[in-house]
Amino acid sequence: MDVKKKNIDISFYRYLWRIVFPIIIQNLLSAAVSSADVIMLNYVGQSALSASALAVQYVNVISMVIYGMGTGATMLCAQYWGKGDPRAVEKVQGIALRITIIVGILVTLCSVTIPRYMMLLFTPEEEIIGLGITYLRVVSFGLIFWCISEVYIAVVRSIGRVSEATIISITAPVLNVFFNAVFIFGLFGMPKLGIAGVALGTSLSRFIQFVICLVFSKKSKDVKLNFAKIFESNKLLWRDFLKIAIPAVLNDVSWGLAYSTYSIIMGHLGSDVVAANSVVTVARNFGTVVGFALASATGIILGQMLGRNDFEKAKVGAHRLVILSAVTGLIGGLIILLVSPLIVSGASLTPQAKDLLKFMLMLQSYYCMGQTVNTSIIVGVFRAGGDTRFGFICDTIDMWVYAVPLGFIAAFVLKLPVKWVYFLLLTDEFVKWPFVFKRYFSYKWVKNITRDNI
C-alpha cells in the first residue's frame, strides 16, 4: 500500500512539474520583459518611466478580462478534456474568443480616440500625460491579436499541450525585448522612438505571436483555433460559461481596477512615488512568478481530476498545492529582500524615490506570500470546481470596501506620509485570509461542472 501511495505521489508531482514548469518560464519571461522595459526606459528619463507605468494600467485591465475569459475557458476545457469531449473544448474556446475580441476592439477604440482623458484619470502632469497618450495609441494596435492568442494558449494548456503553449507564450516576451531595444535605442539604423518604441515593440511581438498560434493550430489533430466556433450558439455551454466565467472576469477586473486605483492614489502623490512603484512592480512580478504559475497549474490539474469525478484525489492534491504556494511565496519574498540593495543602487531615480523604493521592497518581502496563497486558493483551487462567485465577492469587498477607501482616506483626508499609505494598501491580502480558508475547508468547490452529450 505504501509503495502504491508513493507511486501516486511521484506521478502527481511529475505531472505538476510538467504543467507548472512551462508556466514558470512564461511568467519569468513576462517579468523579464517588464524589467527590461524599466531598465531601458531609465535611459529615456524618469517621466517616460512614470508615463509607461501609468498608461500600462489600461493594458493591465484588459489583461484581467483576457485572464478571466481564459480562466473560464480553462475551467470548462480542463473538465471536458478529463471527461473526453474535445468538441466541447472547441465550443468553449469559441465563446471565450467572441467576448475577448469585442473587449479588445472597444479598448482599442478608446485608446485611439480618447487617450488624453484616460491619462488624466491617473495624473495631472502634462509631460507624463503627453508621453502616455503616445504609448496608448501605439500599443492599442496589438490588443486584438493579444486577446486571441491568450485564449488559445489557455485552452491548449488546459488540455495538456504544455510544450505548444510554452513556445507560443515565450515568443511575445522574447520578441518584445528585442523590438524594444531596437526602437528605444535606434539599433540597426532605426529611429530612436523612446516610449513609442516600447509600445511599437509590444504590438509587433503580439502580432507575430498570433501568427504562430495559427501555425500550431493548423498542425493540430484535435483542438484547433477555429474562428467558425465564434458564431456557433449552444445555450447550455453559454449558460455554463457565463455562470463560471463572468464572476471570474468580474473578479479579475475588480482586482485589476483596484490595483489601478492604487496607482491613481500614488500618481497624485508625486512622480517619485510613481517611479519607485514601477520598479517595485517588476520586483514583485519576479517574486510571485512560481506562486502564480503554481496557481495556474492547480486549476488545470484539479479541474481534470474533478472532470473524472476523482473528488478525494482532488482534495489531497489541493492540500499539497496550497502548502507549496505558501512555501514559494515565502521564498519569493526572501529573494526580493536579499536583492533589494542591488535594485535600489541600480535604479536611476531621485534620492527621494530611492528611499521610497527601499521601503516598498521591504514590505513586498512578506506581501508575496499573502498574494501567492490567496491566488493559489481563489484562482487555482476554487476555480477548478467552477467556484468563481466566492472569489469575486471576497476580492471585491476586500479591495473596494476596505483597501481602496482606506488608501484614499490615508492619502487625501488624513494626509499621512507616503510610506504609511503604501503600508496600509498592502494589508489587503491578509485581511481576507480567514474567509478564504473557511471557504476552502468547506469543500464547496469540489464539483464536476461538465454536461453529458454537449
Q: Is 445 within the bounds of a domain?
A: no
Q: What share of the chain is helix, strand, coil (3-state, %, to 5)?
A: 85, 0, 15
Task: Give the span between the Cα atoms of 149 and 214, in whole angstroms.
Answer: 9
Each residue's pLDDT tens digit, 348-382: 778 888 888 889 999 988 888 898 999 999 988 99
Give φ, ψ of 41 to 5 degrees.
Answer: -70, -20
Q: Is 7 within the bounds of a domain?
A: no
Spell out, as residue ranges, where the chain has pLDDT lower than 50.
Answer: 1, 3-4, 7
H, E, C per residue of 155-181: HHHHCCCHHHHHHHHHHHHHHHHHHHH
Neighbouring residues of 83: CB distance < 8 A, sequence distance ≥ 6 = 307, 308, 450
Q: Is 47 within the bounds of a domain?
A: yes
Each residue's pLDDT tens digit, 268-291: 777 788 788 878 887 887 788 888
For residue 132, the model assigns a pLDDT of: 80
Q: Is 450 within the bounds of a domain?
A: no
Which residue is listed with cell 483576457? Answer: 66
For residue 124, the model assigns a pLDDT of: 74
Q: Is 446 within the bounds of a domain?
A: no
Structurally, the chain folds into a number of domains equal to: 1
Task: Give the span between the Cα atoms of 108 and 142, in whole angstroms.
Answer: 9
All three cell numbers of 3, joined, read: 509503495
Q: Is 5 within the bounds of a domain?
A: no
The identity of residue 342, as a single letter, is L
For residue 36, the model assigns a pLDDT of: 65
Give φ, ψ of 326 to 5 degrees.
Answer: -65, -40
Domain that holds residue 248: 13-440
Task: Give the span between the Cα atoms of 95 and 384, in whole angstroms.
Answer: 19
Q: Is 8 within the bounds of a domain?
A: no
